[in-house]
Amino acid sequence: MKNNKSLRVFLRITRILLSHITIYFAVLILICYFIDRVNTAMEFISSPLSKTFIMILAFLALITSVLNIIALWHNPDKRRERKRRS
Amino acid sequence: MTRNTIKIITVVAVDAVLFAILLLTFAWFHHAKPQNVTDLGTFEFPKLSQPPAVSSPPVNTDTPNETPSNNTDTTESPVPIESEAPTPEPTGLLKGKFADKFTSGEVIKTADTYRSKNVCIEISEHDMKVQYNPVHYFVADIYIQDITSFRCAVAQTSNNKERVEVMARNNDAIVATSGDYFLFHKNGLAIRNGVLLRETLHPDQDVCVLYQDGTMETYLKGQVDLQSIYAKLPYHAWSFGPKLLDNGQPMTKFNTSVETWNPRCAIGYYEPGHYCLVLVDGRQTGYSLGLKMQDLSKLMFDLGCTEAYNLDGGMTAMMAYDGELISKPCGGGRQNSDILYIAEPLS
């Protein structure tokens, strides 16, 4: 029971941290996208580094989304609601 | 202020700091960190000490094996290209034309001209109006007898950046302008003083090549054939652009996204041995607005150039004469990674 609670806390903190990091990367890619339109020669979107950052953003978005879905699935209020309906 | 509000402000502040760190890290690795460029091979260098056998240029298209290969393996040591091709006459780029521009040996230097046996530079300042705004620009009219008078240099500091006038002084340049900032770009053909430094083409940039026979050619992106360029023995190749003239005529569409009014730096070509460097000040209301790319193209056409190519502009665009900055860059200018300069030929 205690282990279960620790795991839930760990997942909650991870989910919060990953959400923030995803925001950082998303804003960065958006900035790159708009700067790239001003000066394409600088390769803000097409450089290997930018592509790596886009890939990191994709992974972060994926993990954050999965964690959010799991969290929502285990949401006590929803669980109670499901039990009540069944 | 409630406890919740303080918590939100703290989270936002921490987010802002962490994002700034991420942004700076990205900027450093993306364009602030100098790129490693390695000597990939040397093209045949003009041999000044040898008397000319014939007056033809040293183009040797029959020996494709003597040109650097497309191999980007940087561990390979540079191999000087040996060729039996005849070397150009040391004072032969202009083939006797413009003889009145040169002296018999003495150096005559004034505030805006430099004349010697091998080099003649005439610097002029001009004003024009663009949409009721003043534009101030400098033209360095250049006559050289030897291609080695037209050289490039890179910054010798630890961060690979130096001001144009400092690089000009360090290299005994008579006149110098900012280059194409190639050390901070990952792609783009780079040949400097006959040495191939990078041969990865930039997908969005036109290329300008100055050959050892004094001719200059500009190539649109996607139309660059490295092997044919190597076969003609390039002395310099710049990657920035765009190309400004099409068969000697001004252009209206360019391979660039920076077409609006800006400080500009451009190189123009008339004929072998006769070039010009144009520096347009800008972003300074009341003094000089700068030029659109289309205006710059028209200006190079009006100057009589047959080929013209835009180099790095903005705050980078600077021109120095006799070791002193003569242009007035916006914001005081900034450090650059490389320069184009004219000096007495290499002995």
Q: How many residues can be counted in chain B?
A: 347
Q: How far is B252 from chain A (nearest CA, A)?
A: 18
In chain A, which residues have their Cβ closer than 8 Å to the Cβ of B19? 23-24, 27-28
User: Contacts of residue B262 in chain A, CB cutoff 8 Å?
Assistant: none
Residue B312 near residue B280, CB atoms below 8 Å: no
Name the residue range of residue A37's domain.
2-85
What are B229-278's pLDDT values in tens digits? Answer: 999 999 999 999 899 999 999 999 998 888 889 999 999 999 999 999 99
Mutation to test the A interface, candidates B26, B185, B254, B260, most A Cβ within 10 Å: B26
**B30–chain A Cβ distance below 8 A for any pair:** yes
Which of A20, A37, A40 is nearest residue B204 as measured by Cβ atoms? A40
Q: State the Cα–Cα distance between residues B136 and B95, nearest whole angstrom.
A: 34
| Mutate which: A18, A28, A30, vs B, most B CBs within 10 A | A28
CA B55 – CA B50 distance, rounded (Å): 13
- The model's confidence at residue B45, banded by pLDDT at 50, 70 and 90, is low
pTM: 0.75
What would the pLDDT profile of A14-69 be if each residue is shown by its tens digit?
A: 999 999 999 999 999 999 999 988 877 778 888 889 999 999 999 999 999 998 88
- Say yes or no: ipTM exceeds 0.85: no
Please, which pLDDT band fits residue B158 given cuts at 50, 70 and 90? confident
Q: With an 8 Å Cβ cutoff, are B187 and A25 in contact?
A: no
Domains of chain B: which residue ranges? 1-33, 35-342
Interatomic CA distance for residues B281 and B284, integer angstroms = 8
Q: Which residues of B touch A49 (CB under 8 A)?
A: 26, 29-30
Question: Per-residue pLDDT for B112 more than 90?
Answer: yes
pLDDT at B311 over 90: yes
Domains of chain A: total:
1
Average pLDDT over residues B97-102: 92
A55 touches chain B (CB under 8 A): no
pLDDT (0 to 100) of residue B316 = 92
The pLDDT value recorded for residue B82 is 44
Distance from CA of B38 to the nearest CA of A (A): 20
* The two three-digit tokens of residue A70, written as one number: 């799991």
Asked if A46 lies within 8 A of B19 by C-beta distance, the reply is no
The DSSP bridge partners found for residue B207 are: B219, B239
